[in-house]
Structure 1
Amino acid sequence: MTMLIRVLPCATQFIDHLDQALRQASHAQRLTMKQRYFLAFVISAMILTQKLCWATMERRSLGQYTSAALWWMFYRSEIVWHLLLRISVLVIIDRYGLSEGNLLIDDTGRSRSKRTKKIGKTHKIKEKKTNGYINGQELVFLVLQTPLVTVPVDFRFYMPDPEMTEWRKTRDLLKKQGIPPKDRPPKPKPNSEYPTKQLLALDMIQAYQRHFPNINVTGILADALYGDANFMDRASSVFSGIQVVSQLRWNQLVIYKNKEVKLKAYFDSYLGPGVKKTLVIRGGKEQKVTVLSARLKVKAHGQKRFIVALKYEGEDDYRYLAATDVSWRHDDIARLHTLRWLIEVFFEDWKLHEGWCNRALQQGIEGSERGVILSVLCDHMLLLHPEQSARLEHKQPALTVGCLVEKLRIDALLDIIKIVVESENPQEKLKKLTESLEDYRPLRISSKHMAGRELGRMMPTASLKYRLPEYQTLVH
């Protein structure tokens, strides 16, 4: 459905709240009237069109806002981009009185075209659907999960070290050729200009602790990529030793009776078939699982971890959870780990409904970062939508992002109809609206039909007919 853009009242209200919070901040920042209107318009446009595209916004606003003016405001206006996301989180915390929660960490990719010279930090990334590689961007997100709402807090763009990537390719090639490790090139030293995903996640955790010290963090949850000793120990120490839960590989070595044993072999050989029980998933539905647990010293970590082997009903293999605080019960660790799935729900909402993953062609890393900030602000605005707030305050289940977006699009359409109907001359108003739509309706030339094209000459040539008997003889 083609949707004309109007500034949503909830977007205007949201940006006004941000401006008030900025004025009360220690640096006394503020947004000008033009900046407030620009932000409200772009967030509204991203919700209604599900795109971050200046040309689309110009067409759908019927030329009220030109793409050049929107581009200028995005790149040249002195908006306090570095504060917007943080202040927005503070507005949500204050609005709902949030005081505790868990931090969820994960990374996600956004595919791009094969050639992206002007888009920042694009590189070859693994595509899970096809198990192949595509050109794209990768981001690491930090999400705050509370008993009431789940809020995206921070993000970082990831870019692999080109020298390290080249070394891995060479190492794998030489390994296949049977070259021993001593004859292979040495591993290059880490380059601070290209931090790993684990370092980016630690940077966000430390920034969170500085900016939101009043929110008590119960645990930090991440997948197997973040299951190394450096990340788990440092992340736990940021909050004075809180619980950090990640995953270990099945072939990770543990120490048992002074012997090195692989995780899978240990749980298969020493602990029996496992205990079947019911696990409460994210405080809601119950699911049957098989659980085994042990406090073991992980060789690569150099210390004990509480390891929980967990297998859901219908699965064949265990997944191995690792927790830093061994004083927890294994049931509590397993239940805490189920909350990590909530960041996957955020990714799905963010990619489908909140603009940045569709037609976001802003150039440079600055353009990409500002685009992501705008899309995350869309998520925050929907959290503060009056209907959502009313449900949350009365402890009722929250509406999905898709449901709220559809509601806003319908409301915008009804408002346009209302303006036409309630005008002094509805027919004249409708005529002007129709003319405006005709003027800004895009005309795209079809490549399927041949009308208006030169097909060329397609017929026999008389002077070449003497060759026909010769070719017929060759064929037969």
Structure 2
Amino acid sequence: MPLLRLGTYSLAALSWMFRHSKMPWAKLLVASVQVILRHHGITSGTLVIDDTDNPRSKSAKTLAYLYKLRDKESGGYLWGQSLVFLLLVTPKISIPVGFVFYQPAPELSAWYKQEKVLKKQGIPKKQRPPKPAPHPAYPPKEQLALRLLAAFKAQYPHIQVHCIMADALYGTATFVDGASAIFGGTQVISQIRSNQNMRVGKREQHVTAYFAAHPGTPQRLRIRGGQEVVVTVGSARLYVCAHHTKRFIVAIKYEEEESYRYLIASDLSWRTLDIVQGHTLRWLVEVFIQDWKSYEGWSLLTKQPGEEGARHSVILSLLVDHSLFMHPNQQDQLKNNLPAYTVGSLRAHVQVECLVDVIDDLVSSDNPQEKLQRFTQALHEVFAFGRSKKHMIQRQLGRLESTPFLKYRADEV
């Protein structure tokens, strides 16, 4: 943001614009998606749902939707925001089409904390407080995902959805049945836990136990239409107890893995390898989120205060991603059915173009020396020096030496 303004607008003015502007930000995102879909002639695709966390500073009190997140790497907790995200994967491009912030209900977070302490103390479940009822103002992630799918259906009715992908968090009956119903019975592929109960005949058993007795066979699989690998695959159409219906269950294990992961599919008419092949597309949302955080502002720049500021800044960062589809070089690649350029290389190319434009403007100016001086001054105002707190200059370091009349204390020892 400071790089764009170059001293023309203050950060306070830009922040006010994000929080109070009457611009229809949500409609702007929808319109951007519609333009890109129409421009590239896209009429169908696969929807991928995922969620991502963004750590924030403990001092970031004015940001909306903050809560205590569990850090997957360290196992500890940190302060941050969480998003449920919707990506449309098409034969040409993968484009973000929707998002919503997630925040757990405060009473539910307090209950989980108390429940953990009471369980550790060995208190029986009957004597522990019951789980609080769901709060309508704080819907769970699977409900937020269903809202995103319903909004996509309403906003882009002409897009045919072949399949919906989600990870194990969304492998519930509520989500699988709800997502499939929104699009008239579309295939939904997710994952289930290894200890999920299934009914085989009249006997219930864990999915792990079933595939231990019915191991998979080696199959050749093409990952996202590219590299071909050998995977061990087993499948069966079985009754899943928690879902109260039959699901297509696929056990899959890659060469470097020691244990199976278990996929479920709502449509029993698909072939096993088609389900496995389709599930490999889910990785594309991870790639997008990484690019989004690294190059397009979600990680560092989306810091506008308040709920509207939070949503508007995320929309702006998504529009940055959309704008790269309209870059002339990217359009040439897609038009000629060639591999698309990466976000990082496109951003670097845009930066070079901007630098060349500035130099050209300076050189062709009637008074290049004066214009260069004003441009240099604006740059120095933007990239001003910051005061370091690491060094102790102009601070009281404290008296770090012994006191002569207290030496008898040392002698006592």
The TM-score bracket by the shorter chain reads over 0.9
Structure 1, gaps ≥5 residues long: 1-44, 46-55
Kept in 1, the 8 Å contact 2:7–2:381? The answer is no
1:329 aligns with 2:271: yes
What is the alpha-carbon distance in structure 2 between the residues aligned to residue 87 and residue 466 of structure 1?
Answer: 79
Secondary structure of the corresponding residue to residue 158 of structure 2: coil
Give the letter aligned to residue 257 of structure 1.
Answer: G
2:144 aligned with 1:200? yes
1:180 and 1:472 map into 2 onto residues whose CA distance is 55
One-letter identity of the residue aligned with 1:336 = G
Query: Is 1:398 paired with 2:304?
Result: no
Residue 35 of structure 1 corresponds to none
Q: CA deviation at 1:146?
A: 0.5
Find the aligned partners of 1:311 and 1:348 in 2 and give their Cα distance.
25
Q: How many pairs align? A: 413
CA–CA distance in structure 1, aligned partners of residues 157 and 351 of structure 2: 37
How far apart in 2 are the matches of 1:112 and 1:457? Answer: 36
Over the matched positions of the two proteins, sequence identity in percent amounts to 48
- Deviation by residue 1:102-136 (Cα, 9 ceiling, x = unmatched): 11000001111224432111111121221221111
Which position in structure 1 is the counterpart of 2:331? Answer: 389
Q: Deviations over 1:378-413 (max 9, x none)?
A: 111111211111110110000010010010111111
After superposition, what is the alpha-carbon deviation per residue over 1:54-101, rounded to whole angstroms, capped at 9, x for unaligned?
Answer: xx35xx633212223323322232101120111111001110010110
In structure 2, the residue matched to 1:416 is 358
Residues 327-359 of structure 1: per-residue CA shift (max 9 Å, x gap): 111000000000000110110011011113204
TM-score relative to the length of structure 2: 0.94
Q: Pick from 129, 133, 157 the counterpart of residue 189 of structure 1.
A: 133
1:170-197, Cα deviation, whole Å (9 max, x unpaired): 3333333333322222222211111010
Instruction: State the match for 1:159 in structure 2.
Output: 103
Structure 2: gaps of 5 or more residues: none
Q: 1:385 to 1:440 in 2, by over 3 A?
A: closer
Cα 1:255/1:81, change in 2 over 3 Å = same
1:32-59 CA distances to partner (integer Å, 9 max, x unpaired)?
xxxxxxxxxxxxx4xxxxxxxxxx35xx
Matched residue, 2:246: 304
What's the RMSD between the two structures over aligned residues? Answer: 2.0
1:352 aligned to which of 287, 294, 318 = 294
Give the structure 2 partner of residue 87 of structure 1.
31
- Structure 1 position 174 matched with structure 2 position 149: no
1:77 alignment partner in structure 2: 21
352-361 or 333-342, which moves further after superposition?
352-361
1:223-253 C-alpha deviation (Å, 9 max, x unpaired): 0000001110111011111100000100000
**Candidates 205, 214, 223, aligned match of 1:281:** 223
- The one-letter code of the counterpart of 1:337 is H
| C-alpha distance in 2 between matches for 1:473 and 1:454 | 30
**2:167 alignment counterpart:** 223
What TM-score, normalized to structure 1? Answer: 0.82
> In structure 2, what residue type is equivalent to 1:107?
D
Aligned-partner Cα distance in 1 for 2:43–2:280: 21
Tell me the residue number matched to 2:72.
128
> What residue number does 2:307 align with?
365
1:376 aligned residue = 318
Q: Which residue of 2 aligns with 1:37?
A: none
> Is the 2:324–2:330 Cα contact (8 Å) retained in structure 1?
yes
User: For the residues of structure 1 that align with 2:168 and 2:311, how far apart are their CA atoms?
Assistant: 26
Moved more, 405-414 or 425-434: 425-434
Q: Closer, same or farther in 2 for the Cα pair 1:457/1:190, shift >3 Å? A: closer
Q: Distance in 1 between matches of 2:382 and 2:128?
A: 62
